[in-house]
Amino acid sequence: MARANHRLTKIPEMAIRRLSVYTRCLQQLEEDGVKTISSQELAERFSLNSAQVRKDLAYFGEFGVRGIGYYVAGLKAELQRILGLDREWSVALVGLGNLGSALFHYKGFARQGFRIAVVIDDDPAKIGREIESVPIVGSRDMAREIKARAVQIAIVAVPPEAAQTVTEQLVAAGIKAVLNFAPTRLRVGREVRLKNVDLSIELETLSFYLAKGAR
């Protein structure tokens, strides 16, 4: 019934985002010693939508077993493989201001296999130094470092006015995916995956509920 159809259908980005959430839920279940779980139980325990869970998973294969549900460890491993989390990714962090420093120290990245391999910053006081054994280089040397370290993903945490230029340099250096924290709209070619993080959207979900409560 639900066969792997990811070669036929365009998978919504939100479904991929939800796979990340499911993976975290399965991780939690595994830590709690749960071996198997139905989509209903999974949905109830983590406030998900069970029909949505089944639909999302169906994009990638047939994971449920009749009368049993999902094998927690097996499904987790499978989702991690789909998300590319069964390997390590070298990441370039661009910009080591407040936000860049916070992202550098963010524990969640390394836990999922994203290793910051090089930091790029044009502050003369930082160039040539290291932060926790990771080299800090100026943008004039970024292409060399990105190639030498086989970096495919860049996190952009520079001021908005610098973001477009640095992104073009990153793409020229071979970067294939950009996670942009600068509050500006970047333009990249179709060969590059761009994801913008807009932190105020998260606050707006909260103000929606507060405003609704007040109405």
Q: Which is nearer to its own copies, 68 or 211 (CB)?
A: 211
Provide the 8-state DSSP code for 69. Answer: B
Query: Binding residue for its own copies (CB under 8 A) from 107, 125, 132, 133?
Result: 107
Site for its own copies in 33-72 (CB under 8 A): 49
Terminal-to-terminal C-alpha distance of the chain? 45
Q: Long-range contact list for 157-165, CB < 8 A, 24+ apart?
A: 157/93, 157/94, 157/95, 157/96, 157/97, 157/99, 157/100, 157/103, 157/181, 157/182, 158/94, 158/95, 158/97, 158/100, 158/182, 159/95, 159/97, 160/184, 162/95
* 187 is a contact residue toward its own copies (CB under 8 A): no
Q: Which is nearer to its own copies, 8 or 199 (CB)?
A: 199
Query: Binding residue for its own copies (CB under 8 A) from 99, 127, 134, 162?
Result: 99
Footprint on this chain of its own copies (rule: CB under 8 A) = 12-14, 16-17, 19-21, 24, 28, 49, 81-85, 87, 89, 91, 97-99, 101-103, 105-109, 111-114, 152-153, 155, 160, 176-179, 183, 185, 193, 195, 197-213
